[in-house]
Amino acid sequence: MKRKDENLMNGEIMNNTDRLIKISNALAFETLDIVEMFELSDVEISEEAVEHIFKDNGEKQIQYEMLEAFLNGIIVFNRGERKLKPGEEKRKPMEIADPRSTNNIVLKKLKIAFSLSSEDMLNLIQSGGVVVSKDKLSALFRKEGHKSYKYCKDIYVEGLLKALSEKTLI
């Protein structure tokens, strides 16, 4: 029987649970760290629920909102809570029109969480063993619907996560 990681390397598409697991593993998060990331986004989740996500090894997909809450928690953990200006409302979650945009959102939020420049992102993805040009990376960060927007493939997220797992950014 193949492990989930082997399946992904053979061209299977990551789902939201796979993304959460891969991000958690790359950043060496323990169960309590993951619970804390959710709490920083005002989402309550038990240690048992987190352990269940990992025990199922990504077989049951979490909702996009849960993945985004987790990523937002990483941003708050690393950068602190964003202070609102007078009269400014709290930002709404990034809505995606197409589920294929999820990897684009993951890259954007990790870039924000670790205060990375586009050049840093380019270097990290390439150091993760993935060939990407500056133009291609720029297209991945464009707003969905822009004429030059490109959907981000799993390989770019995996390359970034591989590089992040080798560095100590947190």
Query: Is 92 domain-assigned?
Result: no
Q: How much is the mean pLDDT over the chain?
A: 86
Domains held by the chain: number: 1
Residues written for the chain: 170
Query: Is 89 domain-assigned?
Result: no
Query: Is 151 domain-assigned?
Result: yes
Distance CA 46, CA 33 (A): 12
pLDDT tens profile 76-115: 999 988 777 787 777 766 666 678 899 999 999 999 999 9
Distance CA 148, CA 160 (A): 22
Query: Is 113 domain-assigned?
Result: yes
Query: Is 87 domain-assigned?
Result: no
CB of 71 within 8 A of CB of 106? Answer: yes
Query: Is 5 domain-assigned?
Result: no
Query: Is 1 domain-assigned?
Result: no
Residue range(s) defining the domain that contains residue 132: 14-80+97-166
**What's the gap between Cα 154 and its chain centre?**
11
Query: Is 158 domain-assigned?
Result: yes
pLDDT tens profile 7-31: 344 445 789 999 999 999 999 999 9
